[in-house]
């Protein structure tokens, strides 16, 4: 059984997909959506040695988000 978690909790070497946002109607959720964080999109933790900001691989790009920002995105492992 897969559990829904926040993007800030993902682990390196595992595959996840975006489910949505904590506050779907927020302005920040709209910005993240424009950056590629769309429901069903695969996302991974990039193999870098820093913890904040976190670096994510999504749609062929790397995106840096603070942990507090990544907490707004819901994902599940697949």
What pTM was computed for the model?
0.86
Is residue 21 classed as helix, strand or coil in its secondary structure? strand
23 confidence band (pLDDT: 50, 70, 90): confident
pLDDT at 2: 62
Assigned CATH for 4-77:
2.30.30.90
Q: What is the pLDDT of residues 31-59, one digit of tens each?
A: 998 889 999 999 999 988 887 899 999 99
What's the whole-number average pLDDT of the chain? 90
Share of the chain above pLDDT 90, in %: 65
pLDDT at 24: 78
**pLDDT of 1 over the 60 cut:** no
CA distances from 56 to 1, 25, 32, 62 (A): 24, 23, 12, 5
């Amino acid at each position: 059984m897969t559990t829904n978690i926040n993007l800030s909790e993902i682990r390196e070497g595992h595959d996840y997909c975006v489910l949505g946002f904590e506050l779907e109607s927020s302005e920040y959720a709209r910005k993240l959506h424009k950056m590629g964080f769309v429901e069903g999109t695969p996302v991974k933790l990039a193999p870098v040695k820093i913890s904040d900001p976190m670096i994510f691989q999504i749609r062929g790009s790397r995106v840096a988000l603070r942990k507090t920002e990544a907490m707004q995105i819901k994902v599940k492992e697949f």
